Amino acid sequence: MDLPMIEGDIRRELNAGSFNEGAVEGCGAGDVSSFVVRKAQAADSEALAILADIAGGETLAFIARGIDPTADARAIYRKMIATATGLFSYQNCFAAESNGKLVGLANAFPARAIENEQRHTKPTAREEYLEARTRLNDPRSYLLNNIAVDPAWRRKGVGIRLVEAVIAEAKLQGFRSITLHVWADNARAIAFYRALGFRSVRRAKIPWHPELPHVGGSLLFRLNL
């Protein structure tokens, strides 16, 4: 099966917010003067795919390899980010940049858009395995779907600035809350989100799987604006 077909099959779960692994830098403010946060562009797709893979490649690979064992999560991210449409399009991404190098990514969009995606796709067996996580989504919120920071740039304020950009965009679009998903055993990400005011509001029980070895299920966090 060629990669674009895999991309279409995994789009439903990807757009359901299942890849926010919270690859962020912790709570330190750090030096925020040496980078800028801007809207992403199509030309950023290669660098942003590397960052997206840091944050959520494990879950994306879990779904895609149920269809094709040779699927490459980073290549799938690259194709989706490069397109002008779709929830993981560059148009729904923010990029943190320092001296021409992309060091951070945030992907976010209105959560209600997921329902439109679901009408046009049939879930695969592995998507159904994660269905409890998808059902946590709050269609009234703005969904922070993926956030990642280059390991060399953690604890320098990049993650905080990316979240601030998402908050500003959500307010601009008239949303009153932001939601995100995080694995219950991802203590570093949970501490980061709590420090920014997010609170856990729901939990999905996800069975342990050798290709997705998380315990405690998945949490939905919310920040009221």
The pLDDT of residue 13 is 46
Q: What is the pLDDT of residues 177-208, one digit of tens each?
A: 999 999 999 999 999 999 999 999 999 999 99
Which of 5, 13, 78 shows the shortest CA–CA distance to 40?
Answer: 78
Sheet holding 177-183, edge to edge: 36-39, 93-98, 101-110, 142-149, 177-183, 218-224, 199-204
List the pLDDT tens digit at each of the 225 positions of the chain: 333 334 444 444 455 444 455 565 555 444 555 899 999 999 999 999 999 998 877 888 888 888 888 889 899 999 999 999 999 999 999 999 999 999 999 999 999 988 766 666 777 888 888 889 889 999 999 999 999 999 999 989 999 999 999 999 999 999 999 999 999 999 999 999 999 999 999 999 999 999 888 999 999 999 999
Summarised one tens digit per residue, pLDDT across range 104-137 is: 999 999 999 887 666 667 778 888 888 898 899 9
In whole angstroms, how large is the CA radius of gyration of the chain? Answer: 16
What integer pLDDT is reported at residue 20 of this predicted model? 57
Q: Residue 9: what pLDDT?
A: 43
Q: ∠145-146-149 over CA atoms, to 5°?
A: 155
Structure-token pair, residue 127: 């998507």
What's the pLDDT score for residue 31?
52
Tracing tokens 């779709």 back to the chain, one arrives at 86
- 104 by Cβ neighbours in 10 Å (0-12 / 13-18 / 19+) ranks as buried
Is the separation of the CB atoms in 82 and 76 below 8 Å? no
How far is residue 185's CA from residue 214's CA, in Å, rounded to a whole number?
7
Q: What are the tokens at 183? A: 């694995």
**What is the model's pLDDT at position 126?**
86
Q: Where are the alpha helices (DSSP H) in the chain?
A: 3-15, 45-64, 73-82, 113-119, 125-129, 131-134, 158-172, 187-195
Counted residue by residue, the chain has a size of 225
Q: Which residues contact 54 (CB under 8 A, 6 or more apart)?
A: 21, 23, 148, 150, 151
